Structure 1
Amino acid sequence: MVTDYGQGYATRSEPRHRLPAGLRAPFEGRSRREFGYVLLSLPVATVLFSWTVTMVALGAGLLVTFLGIPVLAAALAGCRGFGVLERARARGLLDLEVADPEPLRPRKQGAAAWMGAMLKSGASWRHALYALVQFPWAVFSFSVAVTFWSCGWGLLTYPLWFWVFPAYAGEGGIQLYGDAHHSVYLDNPFEITVTALVGLVFTLAAPWLVRALTTVDGLLVRGLLGPSPLSARVVELESDRGVVVDTAAADLRRIERDLHDGAQARLVNLAMDLGLAKEKLREDPRTAARMVEEAHGEVKTALQELRDLARGIHPAVLTDRGLDAALSAVASRCAVPVRVEVDLPARPAPAIEGIAYFTVSELLQNISKHSGARSASVDVWRSQDRLMLQVTDDGVGGADASRGSGLAGLAARLDAVDGILMVDSPAGGPTRVIAELPWRG
């Protein structure tokens, strides 16, 4: 979870239930949706299995002719179509979000290129494998779930309908055992009560059993109908590359704006003042001297702004002395007292070191602006192959970044280098932010 100090504060409350989870499970909407998923799985799996086996067998048999290739491509296309249905069914009934697999990318236009891409696609064959695996599992889960649900509710309500047997069947109740000489029926109050209690056990256990069955369904959907780990990693790297490009462009715009509005404007004014002082040098030396003195002050201010700008790009103290000195300098400029403790056996890669520096800098700025804290602390250490950063404060806490914020952007920057940002900010504080970065020394 990523939160931010500047997005307002709210208290999160979990819904309270009077009944424990084990007793309310048979009546929850989630249990009904999961049972509905299992019921629908059998007809869907039957159609999908029949389509896949028939079309793949037909296509394989026709491979001796040209017709086998389009039949196989059509079979895989149908499996991918069923995959869309299965992902939607898992999303609607199991609350399982599975991303679409990698799309087909034919190198050329035309039917032949499309069929080649379909047959070469690993995602297409994973859909076909799903059709073959899902069918026996759907038969098993359907049989188990329907048996437990029907037996559970049937036995639980047995005291309400056992009268049907003596009234219409001529028997005392459900027959447990019978032969030519002896029969055992559930017909007395004790046996009826025990039957209802057994039904209660089945009824309470059925939702959890169905949940376990649908967990396997979720693994099948996620593993065979979603993107492969390799393609997901490629998409992630492409997204990270976009974040890096956007961040670099934003930094360049910030530097350009700071130069234009700060040092550049002062240097232009300085040139104009020196030009006027040069013109007045012979006519009014005192005025010229005063103007030169003012220009000297402007030069000092411009130099300080340039130093600040250079520090914002990459501070010299970070390059020369490392994170300990650089973070101590940042902490000294924070609006609240900050304790800094850096325990590193060596220096990480310069790029990681720079990201760590700017991460802590932005977190301390948030503390100064939004937290209302009286004190803060920064801890930096190495844990195996990870650089760990922890920034804490005793402010008001309760921050929420679900609508996007500075910390959300910071998390995206860390994610671009395989980093992680974790924020714990309960209402009333304290707030703790932990960042993990790869060491890459």
Structure 2
Amino acid sequence: MPDSETAGDTGRGVRQYLRHRTRVTVDALEHLVGGLGTAVLALAAVLLLVVVAVACLVGVGLVVVPSALQAVRSAADRERARLSRWGAALPLPPPVPAGLRAALRDPWVRRDTAFVATHGTAGFALGLIGVSLPLSAVQYLLFPLYYWLVPPDAGGPGFVDWRIDGLPDALAVALIGVGCLAVSVALCPRLAHLQAVPGRRLLAPPRDVDVSLRIAELTATRAAALDAHAVELRRIERSLHDGAQNRLVAVTVLLGAARRALARDPVVAGEILDRAHDAAELALAELRTVVRGILPPVLDDRGLAGALDGLAAGCGVPCTVDVDVPGRCAASVEATAYFVVAEALTNVARHSGATAAAVAVRRDGDRLQVSVADDGRGGADEGHGSGIGGIRRRVEAHDGRFTLTSPPGGPTTILVELPCGS
């Protein structure tokens, strides 16, 4: 029996590892494809700069220098937006200065120019290598399915130039595909990281600008935290005033009526006491609801995964939950993630018209990523009082990031990133 349990644990471990590696490789491939697209734009900007520089030597290129610098800024901003989707946000720079001399002295412009030169060459090469590896692997792996359509003397795909006389030779080509696939799994994440390094270093604000931006960002998030705290206090006060307080007032009135009726009509007094008892139970239920709204005890009892499973079970729309968070995060972070999912699922059940929803929670380094998606009608707008604004304020109070994607016709996806420590 212990041997079978050990084998089962080993099998689960292998499956989890394979799922993890597959997810990491697919994410890296997606990063490389996006980076290849921005590298093409950067390469075009570099070629434009070269043409303008040559034209300046003969005195006719000075008038188009501002346009060339604007093209460089556009290419750099595309990469800023791409990198911000996959990690820490890169703030957008101020507009390119109007004067030629001021533009050439601007540190943002110099960093953008250095970036397009690096990303348009090295980033382009890394993207091509990263994309070609899995494509070559697929080509080699599928060769046994169509080798008979290729003349034997034509060889196989890629660098396979020897004669293919039958299925054994085709299977040998497929083995090359297995090797390419293994190389892709091992190298694609590293290539994606290397491709992003120039953007992370060169497109970040200069140090003095970064400090001022960070101060402004912290000021804004502090204000958001205070607003979220004030909104939460108002919600608690309203819940206590409209719920538990009214119930307790009713208990007091009923107890007074029961005391007055006790001497003259004990039967009526007993009925009034029963009503007072029911009102007291309702008041206790209201108080429990308010307490759970402050910090759900289910998080301590069952952890984030169990708490979200409970939310999904109580949702009016069929909902799946996938939580991959090793260990525990800070209590405030888990509470925020819980409330984000709770509010999002409430919106799904009330407003979306969806037939299915999915919740996914991942921990990526020091970031907790929460995704809530549904297949409803879309068109969600935080300005229409659907609770999305409250979600945004709660997330920003934790210095997190909130993204809503909800085109008309659906689907709707809420993405939240929260800092959770290393």
1:220-240 CA-to-partner distances (Å, cap 9, x unmatched) read: 9x968x971101101110111
Q: 2:105 aligns with which of 96, 120, 133?
A: 133
Q: 2:321 aligns with which of 300, 323, 340?
A: 340
Give yes or no for the alignment of 1:300 onto 2:281. Answer: yes
Whether the aligned pair in 2 keeps the contact of 1:327 and 1:357 (CA below 8 Å) is yes
Distance 1:316 1:270, change over 3 A: same
- Opposite residue 278 of structure 1, the aligned amino acid is R
Whether the aligned pair in 2 keeps the contact of 1:352 and 1:440 (CA below 8 Å) is no
| Secondary structure class of the residue paired with 1:382 | strand
Give yes or no for the alignment of 1:383 onto 2:346. Answer: no
Give yes or no for the alignment of 1:327 onto 2:299. Answer: no
Q: 1:392 aligns with which of 342, 364, 373?
A: 373
Per-residue deviation at 1:241? Answer: 0.6
| Secondary structure class of the residue paired with 2:264 | coil
1:348-369 CA-to-partner distances (Å, cap 9, x unmatched) read: 0111111111111111111112
Whether the aligned pair in 1 keeps the contact of 2:359 and 2:372 (CA below 8 Å) is yes
Per-residue deviation at 1:403? Answer: 8.1
Distance 1:331 1:398, change over 3 A: same
Aligned ranges 1:29-428 → 2 under 5 Å: 38=66, 98=94, 133=105, 228-401=209-382, 406-428=387-409
Per-residue deviation at 1:381? Answer: 2.0
Distance 1:282 1:376, change over 3 A: same
| Secondary structure class of the residue paired with 1:282 | helix
**Aligned-partner Cα distance in 1 for 2:313–2:265:** 46
1:255-290 CA-to-partner distances (Å, cap 9, x unmatched) read: 111111110011011111001101111110000000
Superposed CA RMSD in Å reads 3.8
- Opposite residue 388 of structure 2, the aligned amino acid is L
**Aligned-partner Cα distance in 2 for 1:433–1:241:** 23
Distance 1:288 1:373, change over 3 A: same
| Secondary structure class of the residue paired with 2:361 | strand
Q: Which has the larger radius of gyration?
A: 1
Per-residue deviation at 1:296? Answer: 1.0
Per-residue deviation at 1:401? Answer: 4.5
TM-score (ref. length: structure 2): 0.51
Per-residue deviation at 1:409? Answer: 4.0
1:181-207 CA-to-partner distances (Å, cap 9, x unmatched) read: xxxxxxxxxxxxxxxxxxxxxxxxxxx
Whether the aligned pair in 1 keeps the contact of 2:378 and 2:408 (CA below 8 Å) is yes
**Aligned-partner Cα distance in 2 for 1:292–1:330:** 36
Give the share of equivalent positions with the same residue, in percent. 45
Per-residue deviation at 1:410? Answer: 2.2
Whether the aligned pair in 2 keeps the contact of 1:240 and 1:416 (CA below 8 Å) is yes
**Aligned-partner Cα distance in 1 for 2:358–2:247:** 37
Which deviates the most, 401-410 or 354-363? 401-410
Distance 1:230 1:267, change over 3 A: same
- Opposite residue 287 of structure 1, the aligned amino acid is V
Distance 1:304 1:402, change over 3 A: closer
1:366-389 CA-to-partner distances (Å, cap 9, x unmatched) read: 111211111212121212222111
Distance 1:412 1:263, change over 3 A: closer
Equivalent residue for 2:195? none
**Aligned-partner Cα distance in 1 for 2:205–2:342:** 41
| Secondary structure class of the residue paired with 1:322 | helix
1:21-49 CA-to-partner distances (Å, cap 9, x unmatched) read: 9xxxxxxxxxxxx968849x9xxxxxxxx
Equivalent residue for 2:156? none
**Aligned-partner Cα distance in 2 for 1:351–1:325:** 17
Whether the aligned pair in 1 keeps the contact of 2:225 and 2:396 (CA below 8 Å) is no
**Aligned-partner Cα distance in 2 for 1:361–1:35:** 57
**Aligned-partner Cα distance in 2 for 1:403–1:311:** 26
**Aligned-partner Cα distance in 2 for 1:335–1:426:** 22
Structure 1 runs of 4+ with >4 Å offset: 34-37, 129-132, 400-405
Count of paired positions: 246
Structure scoring higher RCO (CA < 8 A, sep ≥ 6) equals 1
Unaligned runs of 5+ in 1: 1-20, 22-33, 42-95, 100-128, 138-218
**Aligned-partner Cα distance in 2 for 1:250–1:388:** 24
Per-residue deviation at 1:248? Answer: 0.5
| Secondary structure class of the residue paired with 2:399 | coil
Per-residue deviation at 1:132? Answer: 8.5
TM-score (ref. length: structure 1): 0.49
Whether the aligned pair in 2 keeps the contact of 1:378 and 1:389 (CA below 8 Å) is yes
Distance 1:277 1:421, change over 3 A: same
Distance 1:302 1:346, change over 3 A: same
**Aligned-partner Cα distance in 2 for 1:345–1:257:** 37
Whether the aligned pair in 2 keeps the contact of 1:379 and 1:391 (CA below 8 Å) is yes
- Opposite residue 352 of structure 2, the aligned amino acid is S
Distance 1:318 1:36, change over 3 A: same
- Opposite residue 326 of structure 1, the aligned amino acid is A
Distance 1:395 1:403, change over 3 A: closer
Equivalent residue for 2:146? none
**Aligned-partner Cα distance in 2 for 1:132–1:385:** 37
Distance 1:36 1:332, change over 3 A: same
